[in-house]
Amino acid sequence: MQKLFRQTMILGLNSVLNCGPHVSQRKLVKMPNGGPDNCGTCGFNRRNRGVWRNPVPDEQQLSFCEIRGLTVLADHWTYCQNWHTRTKKLIGPIYASGLYENGYRRIPWHGAVEPESIGAGACSECGKTFADGIAIASVESARLVFCSNLHYLQWWKRQHPEEDAPMSDDIWEH
């Protein structure tokens, strides 16, 4: 449902304004239910020029995280702990909005690779088929796909055994 919502928002406004997805999301989704503490409202986003919840971001700039050095296209659906600490020393991973499972969930990026929402597939963890899932690109093989936030997170933890993803803690409990 969330995936459809995002896509509808992006496609709808893009067709009207013929502009990038970061703009469409900001225009239409001023405070997503996934949480207001997102890159779109973060002072470290170049558009916001150091102002958290900036009501007048620089419309000419792409959403770009100045402390992590990357462009964030889905800025209103991307999160990290530095939003809260407002410190430049990086804390933990970046998070995407995962599958809607009894509420909005946050799942960590695989380094600089953002997990994506996808349609039907068969889970790389458990083999179960699904109608809506998560995919992560792989340079060495076909992309990996997952039936649930939990199975993505289990895979992520094996790839990042020394890292924690506290914004995903509620996923382990479901």
Binds ligand SF4 by CB under 6 A, chosen from 10, 13, 29, 42: 42
The answer to whether residue 135 forms part of the interface with ligand SF4 (CB under 6 A) is no
What are the C-alpha distances in Å from 129 to residues 28, 122, 125? Answer: 33, 4, 11
Rg for the chain, CA atoms, rounded: 16
- In sign, the C-alpha dihedral spanning 80, 82, 66, 49 is positive
Which 3 state secondary structure label does DSSP give 153?
A: helix
Tokens of 57: 């971001």
Q: Looking at beta carbons only, is 95 or 130 nearer to Zn ion?
A: 130
Q: Looking at beta carbons only, is 46 or 125 nearer to ligand SF4?
A: 46
The answer to whether residue 82 forms part of the interface with ligand SF4 (CB under 6 A) is yes
Binds Zn ion by CB under 5 A, chosen from 37, 66, 116, 125: 125
Count of C-beta atoms within a 10 Å radius of residue 37: 16
Binds Zn ion by CB under 5 A, chosen from 39, 80, 136, 147: 147
The answer to whether residue 99 forms part of the interface with Zn ion (CB under 5 A) is no
- DSSP letters, 41-107, are G-TTBGGGTT-TT-SS--TTS--EETTTTEE-TTGGGEE-THHHH--SS--S--EEE---SSS--EE
Residues 44 and 65 sit within 8 Å (Cβ to Cβ) = yes
Least distance between Zn ion and beta carbon 155 (Å): 9
Least distance between Zn ion and beta carbon 123 (Å): 3
The answer to whether residue 146 forms part of the interface with ligand SF4 (CB under 6 A) is no
The answer to whether residue 116 forms part of the interface with Zn ion (CB under 5 A) is no
In the complex, the residues that contact Zn ion under the rule CB under 5 A are: 123, 125-126, 128, 147, 151
In the complex, the residues that contact ligand SF4 under the rule CB under 6 A are: 39, 42, 44-45, 65, 67-68, 72, 78-80, 82-83, 94
